[in-house]
Amino acid sequence: VYIVGICIAVCGNFLISISLNIQKYTHMRQSQRGTKPYYTSRLWWCGILLMGLGELGNFAAYGFAPASLIAPLGCVSVIASAVISVVFLKETLRASDILGGALALIGTYCLVTFAPHSSPHVTANMVERSLVSWQFLIYFLFEAILFAVLMYFYKCRNVKHIVIMMILVALLASVTVISVKAVSGMITETIRGSHLQLTYPIFYIMFIIMVTSCAFQIKFLNQAMKLFDATEIVPINYVFFTASAIVAGILFYEEFYGLSIIYIIMFVVGCLLAFTGVFLIARARPRIKMDRVFISMGQIPGKSCTDKVQPQSDDSKYGKLASKLTCNSEIQQDEP
């Protein structure tokens, strides 16, 4: 069953990378032509549709495979986005892109091979028991205190450091991953016909938590995008999101229970390789010539200008819906 989850997650992240590049191309074209707004373009709406399908795939994947296996696969979106940017948007291919892609692929192979391949069936009773378990209560208390301290520095002391903002997003992402896997798992169990899970109040409680935590992630990521470049946001958010998803899977769903030490070590090595690869791909993306893009697409622009194309990640797992949506706000800010 976990192979189904892997395939769905990989396909979902690939669709998201295509969507982001389609949207970026649409914004560049509209900016170059200076005609109708981007949201009047059919191509832009095709990109939005592909993003929705990709996020739906990430959501479904959590119902088939452990969260600690699905979340790191967000690097697929970064790799695919970099390749598409080079091939279709004529971005410069760098040596660091090739090295980063190779490391990310090796890390992904290690993750898929050595990650836990099974997790307990997510039922309403299981979620209720996990919510009152001592390890989760301690973890949640630690998260709540840390979140309150960081919010004090962020709001009261006006400390706008990127690490503080990304930790706030990661703390929310941990709650999101727990709730997403709970909702997706209960829906999966219901579809399988083993037991109707949608009649339990905990299903709707977790659904509300999922929507709320995701909304606040969007808020903080939007604020981070206004202050920092995507080359900083993408890798840091991917690392923090993946780490929070893995910790949530370990403490809430006990996904690493019974896993041998060598598998755990190789899983950590895979995470480090994937993290390094994402940093190499996302760092300091070069500017591209927009006139080269349009000429290659069979269009002759009236003038040339430059813009940035950033490979976008996600994050995650749940596939990082928040980080993908905020990319749109960054792209809109790049327009004149």
Are 62 and 150 within one domain? no
Closest CA relative to residue 251, chosen from 170, 156, 134: 134
Q: With respect to residue 332, please indicate whether it lies within any of the assigned structural domains.
A: no
Are 133 and 249 within one domain? yes
- Residue with the larger pLDDT of the pair 262 and 218: 262
Are 178 and 219 within one domain? yes
Expressed as residue numbers, the domain containing 230 is 122-254
Are 160 and 96 within one domain? no
Q: With respect to residue 96, please indicate whether it lies within any of the assigned structural domains.
A: yes
Mean pLDDT estimate for the chain: 81
Are 151 and 224 within one domain? yes
Query: pLDDT per residue over 173-211, tens digit each?
Result: 999 999 999 999 999 888 887 678 888 999 999 999 999
Torsion sign, CA atoms 187, 252, 314, 212: positive
Which pTM does this prediction carry? Answer: 0.77
Are 149 and 82 within one domain? no
Q: With respect to residue 48, please indicate whether it lies within any of the assigned structural domains.
A: yes
Q: With respect to residue 298, please indicate whether it lies within any of the assigned structural domains.
A: no
pLDDT value for 298: 47
pLDDT band at 34 (very low <50, low <70, confident <90, very high): low
Are 226 and 278 within one domain? no
pLDDT band at 35 (very low <50, low <70, confident <90, very high): low
Q: With respect to residue 302, please indicate whether it lies within any of the assigned structural domains.
A: no
